[in-house]
Structure 1
Amino acid sequence: MSNQVNFEFSIDFAEKMDAEDPLRDFRSKFIFPKVNGNEAIYFCGNSLGIQPKATQAYIQKELDNWANMAVDGHFHGEDAWYHIRKKSKPALAEIVGAHEHEVVAMNNLTSNLHFLMVSFYQPTAERYKIITEAGAFPSDMYMLETQVKFHGLDPDEVIVEIAPRAGEHTLRTEDILQTIQEHGDQLALVMMAGLQYYTGQLFDMKAIVEAAHKVGAYVGFDLAHAAGNAQLGLHDWQVDFATWCSYKYMNSGPGNVSGIFVHEKHAEKPELPRFAGWWGHDEGQRFKMEKGFVPMFGADGWQLANSNVLALAAHQASLEIFMEAGIKNLRKKSETLTGYLEFLIHKINGDSGVIEIITPKNENERGCQLSLLVHKGGKAVFDEFYQNGIVGDWRNPNVIRIAPTPLYNSFMDVFRFAQVLEQSLRKFA
């Protein structure tokens, strides 16, 4: 845990931490992009993860199968395509805290949200409201708005957005729970991020689920910034549904396949509506080509189309690294690595007030991302980072997101960032 480490602003300390890091060798499994001809210090896994060295071979294997077997590849070969979705299930289940039958890789994140809303948002005259966080990622805002309009309702009357208190940047759990209680009789769904993209706040999903279920509402989470980053327990928390993307912390390639979670308690509810497709139909009967949709058990029953084999190959290249490293081990390193980043920022910033970390200080309320509100010199400071080989993320009007990712970032990366930050603030702040 980061609070058990006596951090130091020194190269010797950073080198010592890297030498003692049991996960240090995983860095060598990735290809780092270059900035100005030099290997970058990459702190942008919250937007797009870097490429595992094995990815090309995994994709090439399926290209070879396609070349050599064509249509026969669906049922022949080491990983027959008809069942290839199953290969990712053990890793996905471990990463999100689920049973294998509760997860499946499919589609893209916002598509999955729309499909899952068909099942879990069925407004009535009495229950129709949706609670979400103010300032949600635009895809989630647009998805909720259009879903509500699809049901002939007014988003302004239906969607309840919870905002931070005046002068604060993040939500208080007590305010979320209070809002659920206030709207309980009319509440149909709580649908929000698991980890807020802008502030980096990790929400207390377990408490939110308990409160929503107590008033009779469903709960779903967009885990785009949480999956592969935070320690999750979707099954034990009784989350109804969730979805995520694989291209951020799961390093599976730009725009690559999403994944869904549907709690097993919903696996055999024939009354639960859904949009069906051939690939969600009972696979033992699928080739009878008959009318009458019979969903597969678990999350597989929400599939529509057959698996994107090349996408899943890239996904698997990264997932196997996660299985080797272990999500608990990664989370432990993440807490220390992010704690070190926080320590160095405070050390450099002092009492100047130029930088304000708007991500929660409590490591149980954040992942690896720290969002820095830069009160002076903002974009110039960020541009200086890039000129010195540091890839972070700029969000208007003046926030820099920095995400030291435990699979491939080191303590020396964080130390070097701190040196550049100190230099940048001297020049522009």
Structure 2
Amino acid sequence: MLVGEFMGWNFTGALMAIWAMSVMYIGVAMMTTEMASIIEEPGGQYAMAKSILGPLAAFNVWLISVFEYTMLEAADAVVGGDIVSSPNPELSPMPFIILTLLLLTLINYRGIYGTLTLNFFITAAAFASVMFLLGSTDFFDPSRSLIKLGELTDGLPYGLLGVFAAMQFGIWFFLGIEGTAMASSECRKVERALPVGTMIGLLTLLFGAMATWFVCSGLVEAHKLGGSVYPLYDAAVATGKPLVIAVLFAGTVLACLASANGCISDASHAWSALAKDTIMPAYFAAEHPRFGSYYRSIVFLLPISLMFAFTGMLDQIITFSIFSALLVYIITAVMMIRFRKMYPLGTIKRAYISPLHPVPALVTIALASCALFGMFLTYGVNMLSGTLFYALASLWFIKRRRSRLDPGIFVTPSLKKWGKPRA
């Protein structure tokens, strides 16, 4: 999810918003890690919701998650296409967008191991490019540094209200890190892999976010930074150093590829999980006989991401993805509170225990609500449209699908062995 360092956050930038959202994501990571370490089933938050909150909540978590990841995937492809075509404005970004999504779909089709291994290396290369840019500015020597924060930024021109409005894009630094829970069934040792991987990922993103904000805000004027599609690349251009520009060009493209690649994996896991529970046709639950991937779900979701990417409306795509993510975070916090009531500490063996419960859940709800309020200030119509869409989808589920479901399928095998919950 390192792509957040390279784009999106700058549409409304504020350092305090980044800190606030990092606190929220720490809480989300701790909660999802505890629940995922018990519910070792593909589907992430969907698998949690179906056993803890029931069918309707599970359906909504599934639908919201799929749109969050497909929108994020589309946004990644759009930014990649824009930066590749930036040297020649007459060059259309569409061929790159299409080829990117086709190539990454093929990689996911061939199995999860290759997908995640590729992501590890290209994300590492992208993070190295961020550090290279930071080092090229001589930030450690004020007399030689190119960074001029006091000259190029306006502080807080909109005051505290501006911080609220900035929260939705502060999320862009971390968006998707909760998707690690989707891979719980792929881990050999869930109790070690999930907490260690999630926390290392969060620390990496937080450090990268701070460095990104520091460099970009000190090299690019605020009015230009606020409208940039690829702020880190524009910061590299501002240095005037050809090597730095080339490295950040490559780093931005790699970050977009890594993010889109992970989103395809997360969305297909969520889609196939619902198919296994017969809410969607069982056709999509099939695993490839050779590669073990959910290949039908992967291929089916490709046209949806292409459709969003073809719009080219980056801020609208990002907004809908963030709105969807915030809804999932609030539901996750509610799930965690319910989960601890169902299975208090000491009743079942946990591979990981989220500390200070229920503080992380309450803080997550509060900060997510603040971010939704800030989003409403600038994208109120989008939020109302998204709410209406999810409400109509829920109505369809209640009227057409819920009565056909076997309630037994909404209890995961990993929870069945713990017996009847207390609440």
Normalised to the residue count of structure 2, the TM-score between the two structures is 0.31
Larger Rg: 1
- Normalized per residue, which structure has more helix? 2
Normalised to the residue count of structure 1, the TM-score between the two structures is 0.30
Higher-RCO chain (CA-CA 8 Å, sequence separation at least 6):
2
